[in-house]
Amino acid sequence: MTREPYPQQKSGVQTPGINWYPGHMLKAKKEFAAQLKRVDVVLELRDARIPETSINHDFELLLGQKRRLVLFNKTRLADPDVTKVWEARLHSEEHPHLFIDALTNRNLKRILPLARKLMAERWGKLRRRGINPPVLKLLIAGIPNVGKSTLINRLVHRKATETGPRPGVTKRQEWVRLERDARLLDTPGILWPKIETMEAGFRLAVTGAIKDEVVGIDRVCDFLLRTLQVQNPEVLSKCYRLDTIPVESDPQELLAQIAQRRGCLKPGGGVDGVRAATVLLRDFREGRLGQLTFDDPSG
């Protein structure tokens, strides 16, 4: 049987979209819009594992003609071959971009020079008129948990802002001194009010931008298992010492096997599905289940 690298969900979930919008996000969006006119360049963070799904289209409207550098973070967690295809596809995009990894410092040294380059023309004009350019003001924007605060800490080589492995850690905007003549504004993660499809919901949940509860931990787990079954079944069998995994295996059955292996059982002896799902998702998020990209670059 041919393996389709990007399976569509067969969960039968029919939904008009996921309506949700925590109040703090609306507030964050208003504050974000208010600061925009005060900054020179926006560093827009997206997730390298979901280069398309992590685009906040609301930003397009808000940012307008603002100078922008798009940074795809967490590249070390994405499938390197698929990243290459994404890089080729993004080549002709309007805004310059970099694939980075804040935890391994990949491409971080290139960020500030690129941001300064975006200001070169404007500042050149000021200098010709005998005026010293002002302090470079950057704003870092993106969906929750994509690594905005981690990136800032890496750029300033100290713990200037709070970070954590869950969405919604940064609650308010905060200026950080980057260099003598550069400042960076950290902002809370912002998502859009309605997630259009369950598929997008699964991708945002599995990568940590929304909490599992928004779409249901069992469904997020089901989505991850289906993706692994077709993209990297070997990692599943190796990590949980399972037999060869046929592509058509039922994810529920797989989860039951994982539960047995990891001792996720109820007092009476039945499988504890929620515990097993929690174990699987934690293993994935801590990098024990290999590198995966969920957005198909050919789609």
Paired strand residues for 139: 42, 185
Give the separation between CA 279 and CA 262, rounded to whole angstroms: 8
73 near Mg ion, rule: CB under 5 A? no
In whole angstroms, the minimum distance from the beta carbon of 43 to Mg ion comes to 13
150 touches, from Mg ion, ligand GTP, none (C-beta below 5 to 8 Å by class): ligand GTP
Told to check if 145 binds Mg ion by CB under 5 A, we report no
Taking CB under 6 A as the criterion, the residue among 165, 193, 246, 263 binding ligand GTP is 165
Q: Who contacts 31 (Cβ-Cβ below 8 Å, separation ≥6)?
A: 172, 173, 187
**DSSP string computed for 93-146:** -SS-EEE-BTTTTBTGGGHHHHHHHHHHHHHHHHHHTTPPP--EEEEEEESTTS
Nearest CB to Mg ion, comparing residues 102 and 206: 102
Cα 164 to Cα 166: distance, rounded to the nearest angstrom = 6
Query: Residue 69: enclosing H or E segment and its boundaries?
Result: strand 67-73
Residues 28 and 35: their CA atoms lie apart, in Å, by 11
Least spacing, CB of residue 7 vs ligand GTP, in Å:
24
Contact 96, 70 (CB under 8 A): yes
**Partner in contact with 165, chosen from Mg ion, ligand GTP, none, beta carbon below 5 to 8 Å by kind:** ligand GTP
* Distance from C-alpha of 70 to C-alpha of 111, rounded to nearest angstrom: 10
- Which of these segments, 26-34, 42-50, 162-170, 252-260, binds Mg ion (CB under 5 A)? 162-170
CB 23 to ligand GTP: min, Å: 16
DSSP 51: T
Q: Which does 146 bind (CB under 5 to 8 A by kind): Mg ion, ligand GTP, none?
A: ligand GTP
Q: Which does 7 bind (CB under 5 to 8 A by kind): Mg ion, ligand GTP, none?
A: none
User: Which structure tokens are listed for 112?
Assistant: 């500030």
Find where tokens 């997630």 sit. 195
257 binds Mg ion (CB under 5 A): no
Applying the rule CB under 6 A, the residues between 67 and 86 that interact with ligand GTP are 73-74, 76-77
Task: Report if residue 149 touches Mg ion, rule: CB under 5 A.
Answer: yes
Report the C-alpha dihedral over residues 120, 121, 124, 129, rounded to 10 degrees: -150
Interaction of residue 219 with ligand GTP, rule CB under 6 A: no
51 near ligand GTP (CB under 6 A): no
What helix, strand, coil percent values describe the chain, rounded to 5? 40, 15, 45
Which stretch in 5-13, 122-130, 164-172, 214-222 sits in contact with Mg ion by CB under 5 A?
164-172
> With contact defined as beta carbons under 8 Å apart, do 87 and 51 qualify?
no
Partner in contact with 265, chosen from ligand GTP, Mg ion, none, beta carbon below 5 to 8 Å by kind: none
Q: What is the smallest separation between the CB atom of 70 and Mg ion, expressed in angstroms? A: 18
Q: Using the rule CB under 6 A, is 206 a contact of ligand GTP?
A: no
In the complex with ligand GTP, the residue whose CB is nearer, 207 or 229, is 207
Per rule CB under 6 A, is residue 220 in the interface with ligand GTP? no
Please give the residues from 83 up to 102 whose contact with ligand GTP meets the rule CB under 6 A: 101-102
Binding site for Mg ion (CB under 5 A): 148-149, 169-170
Site residues (vs ligand GTP, CB under 6 A): 73-74, 76-77, 101-103, 142, 144-150, 163-165, 167-170, 188-189
